[in-house]
Amino acid sequence: MTLQDHITRRFSEANRYQFGLLAILFVSLSTLPLWAPITGFGGLIYPLALANIWAIFAMGWDIISGYTGYISFGHSALSGAAAYATAMLATHLELPLAATFPLSVVAALIVGMLFALPSLRLRGPYFSLLTLVGALLFYRLLFVFNEYTGGELGMSVEAITYDTTVLYYYTFVPMVFIALGLLYVSRSNVGVVLVAIRENEPAVESAGIDTTKFKLWAFTLSAVTMGVGGVMLAHFYGSVDPTTMVILDRSIEMIVMAVIGGMSSILGPIGGAYVFILLRDTILPGTLGLGGTQRWFALWAVALGLIVFAREGVFRKLWHGLGEQGSENESETE
């Protein structure tokens, strides 16, 4: 059995074109710090290091919202909880990373459960709006308890490193492992049940499957992912504050990434995160020279256009395009 067979059997029924695309992307991204400075793309290392963290968020959102159709508008509260837990434990209790990291993931999990337990009784827009309210509430509380959270200015955290190459691998490697883990779950029977919940929850229930249990597991997985990402983001910037971590816009960004990449595909949201972060931090401000407000206006306008005209997701379209390509060629050779 070749490596390709092994991987495709495990994760999907990819043909050689799709597999080739994945392989090329993986190799070029995993060697980015080696070739980027030589070819003049050195400026991409830092934004892509950040994009890796956002890819984690987008995947974390996708495993609950993309798969089950329970659209959360409050996921920035989960990553924000982990980031703030890291900052508060490090500042007030002076704990080392070995302690703050697991505790912060637990913090994200707790907030996630606070969201999930009441929310999962509700369907459709009610669920979405309750998560939106949850994120707003979390944002407000940061200001109410400003003596612990540092209010608007936030708090400082130890930065991981100032070497962009090291920084890149610090974000890239966990991102890959999380992607593999979530892909494994989503391609297993669990993923099938989650998608079935999205399509027709009463039918799944009448088949004797406890949907609440599956939704809770998906939420747990999502919250842990968000927690890991939140800790990474805190150490990436070396600071946490309400605007970069928790504000509603951050939740919207995660959703936009997942949707433009292609919901319920795990890999799509990674692509969405890369496109979005490059657009936000490199292409719009750098290449097109748009500043401040104009940049955000252009960004949201592009996002709206992509969401309306490529509802399935840009990367899903690409993927299926390659899939059709493969099947045509195969039928020719037969």
In Å, how far from its chain's centre is CA 92? 29
Window of 7-15, 22-30, 125-133, 315-323 that interacts with other proteins by CB under 8 A: 125-133
Tell me how long the chain is. Answer: 334
- Restricting to residues 175-214, which ones interact with other proteins according to CB under 8 A? none
Query: Do residues 53 and 160 touch, judged by C-beta distance below 8 A?
Result: no
- From residue 45, alpha-carbon distances to 2, 30, 163, 273 in Å are 32, 11, 10, 14
Can residue 321 be called a binding residue for other proteins (CB under 8 A)? no
Min CB(259)–other proteins separation in Å: 6
Please name which of 282, 299, 285 lies closest in space to residue 46, comparing C-alpha atoms: 282
- Out of 304, 324, 327, 329, the residue judged to bind other proteins by CB under 8 A: 304
Min CB(98)–other proteins separation in Å: 35
Q: Which is nearer to other proteins, 1 or 308 (CB)?
A: 308
From residue 94 to residue 123, the character string flagging contacts with other proteins as x (rule: CB under 8 A) and all else as - is ------------------------x--xxx
Can residue 137 be called a binding residue for other proteins (CB under 8 A)? yes
- The Cα 154–Cα 156 span in angstroms is 7
Can residue 140 be called a binding residue for other proteins (CB under 8 A)? yes
- The Cα 131–Cα 237 span in angstroms is 26
- Out of 14, 105, 130, 278, the residue judged to bind other proteins by CB under 8 A: 130
Pairing of strands 239-240, 155-156: antiparallel
- The Cα 16–Cα 18 span in angstroms is 5
- From residue 273, alpha-carbon distances to 83, 262, 285 in Å are 19, 11, 17
From residue 71 to residue 90, the character string flagging contacts with other proteins as x (rule: CB under 8 A) and all else as - is x-x-----------------
- The Cα 28–Cα 35 span in angstroms is 8
- Out of 96, 143, 288, 327, the residue judged to bind other proteins by CB under 8 A: 143
Can residue 132 be called a binding residue for other proteins (CB under 8 A)? yes
| E-strand stretches of 96-247 | 155-156, 239-240
Can residue 288 be called a binding residue for other proteins (CB under 8 A)? no
Q: List residues binding other proteins (CB under 8 A).
A: 69, 71, 73, 118, 121-126, 128-130, 132-134, 136-137, 140-141, 143-144, 248-249, 252, 255-256, 259, 263, 293-294, 296-297, 300-301, 303-304, 307-308, 311
